[in-house]
Amino acid sequence: MRSTRMALAAIAAAGALTLSACAASSPDDTTDTGAGGETTASGDATDGAAAGDTIRIGIKFDQPGLGFQDGSEYRGFDVDVATYVTEALGYSADQIEWVESPSAQRENLLAGGQVDMIFATYSITDSRRETVSFAGPYFVAGQDLLVRTDETDIAGPEDLEGRNLCSVTGSTSAERIKTDYAEGVQLVEQPSYAECVGLLRDGTVDAVTTDDIILAGLAAQEGNAGQVRVVGNPFSTENYGVGIPKGDVEICEQINAALTTMVEDGSWDEAVTANTEGTGYTANAETNPPELMACS
């Protein structure tokens, strides 16, 4: 039995993942990992989601409205989409093991087998596709700026010359600043956006940049509300995908089928509304809900 499991784990590690090998692992040999965890999760394979199996889902833990840890509870739009999709794959909510997946670690967590899927404001890009595959997209956001409430001179990225700007290492947000707006902007990189907002509030930086929906959640958070505001001038298109092991077309198609149902039965709309209510954020209706991309 053990040798079969080991063989399956080796196949999984080589990237030839099947749905069952990818999505299911038994709790006794699955190790919980946090940010930077160096543990190796098992590639144990079972037949579908039997009672007692768990699925490891990567999310953010500090992005209110998207992926947020509140004691032992996890909330947000990414959490709701992940819960809906994994239920369609046969997992109940208590079979989900949430694993913190900071921006810079997402490809490694997937490629190293420490998570089965990632729902973490994870933009689909060609360079990420060299290491991982994506289902979806399930949401379209746009890169924007967060400034202090009394800031009057910053209305877009072209107003950042000579200013300090904070973003997160490994994000498309930081990358875009470096490639398109490098001149004159002092980019400070942090491990998470919550840390950037701290630097904005204490005056170390003049703005924070990432996706508008992330900034809206942070701006509405207790303690930040009234101190900071979203500029509201998005300058990119961020297609949020479900990160999966590279080349797993079967799981990609199953996730896409679940996302289609989620939109059709109204659950997607409900999740967007419930998680953005009170933040002043409105999803771009021209791009949402998004068209799914073909699995490859």
Near ligand GLU in 53-112, by CB under 6 A: 103
Residue 106 or 229: the one with the smaller Cβ distance to ligand GLU is 106
- Give the integer Cα–Cα distance in Å for 278 and 185: 32
CB of 295 to ligand GLU, least distance (A): 19
Residue 30 or 172: the one with the smaller Cβ distance to ligand GLU is 172
CB of 72 to ligand GLU, least distance (A): 23
CB of 292 to ligand GLU, least distance (A): 18
Near ligand GLU in 104-133, by CB under 6 A: 120-123
Question: Would you count residue 209 as binding ligand GLU (CB under 6 A)?
Answer: no
Q: How many chain residues bind ligand GLU (CB under 6 A)?
A: 13
Per the CB < 8 A criterion, the answer to whether 60 and 214 are in contact is no
Question: Would you count residue 211 as binding ligand GLU (CB under 6 A)?
Answer: yes
Using the contact rule CB under 6 A, the part of the chain among 49-57, 167-175, 222-230, 288-296 near ligand GLU is 167-175
CB of 242 to ligand GLU, least distance (A): 12
Residue nearest to ligand GLU (CB): 171
Question: Would you count residue 238 as binding ligand GLU (CB under 6 A)?
Answer: yes
From the centroid of its chain, how far is CA 239?
A: 11
- Give the integer Cα–Cα distance in Å for 184 and 187: 9
Judged by CB under 6 A, the residue of 95, 114, 133, 171 near ligand GLU is: 171
Question: Would you count residue 25 as binding ligand GLU (CB under 6 A)?
Answer: no
HEC secondary structure over the chain? CHHHHHHHHHHHHCCCCCHHHHHCECHHHCCCCCCCCCCCCCCCCCCCCCCCCEEEEEECCEECCCEEEECCEEECHHHHHHHHHHHHCCCCHHHEEEEECCHHHHHHHHHCCCCCEECCCCECCCCHHHCEEEEEEEEEECEEEEEECCCCCCCCHHHCCCCEEEEECCCHHHHHHHHHCCCCCEEEEECCHHHHHHHHHCCCCCEEEEEHHHHHHHHHCCCCECCEEECCCCCCCEEEEEEEECCCHHHHHHHHHHHHHHHHCCHHHHHHHHHHCCCCCCCCCCCCCCCCCCCC
Residue 41 or 214: the one with the smaller Cβ distance to ligand GLU is 214
- Give the integer Cα–Cα distance in Å for 111 and 266: 33
Question: Would you count residue 258 as binding ligand GLU (CB under 6 A)?
Answer: no
Question: Would you count residue 138 as binding ligand GLU (CB under 6 A)?
Answer: no
Residue 86 or 172: the one with the smaller Cβ distance to ligand GLU is 172
CB of 65 to ligand GLU, least distance (A): 13
Residue 53 or 80: the one with the smaller Cβ distance to ligand GLU is 80
Judged by CB under 6 A, the residue of 33, 86, 105, 172 near ligand GLU is: 172
Binding footprint of ligand GLU on the chain (CB under 6 A): 103, 120-123, 168, 171-173, 210-211, 214, 238
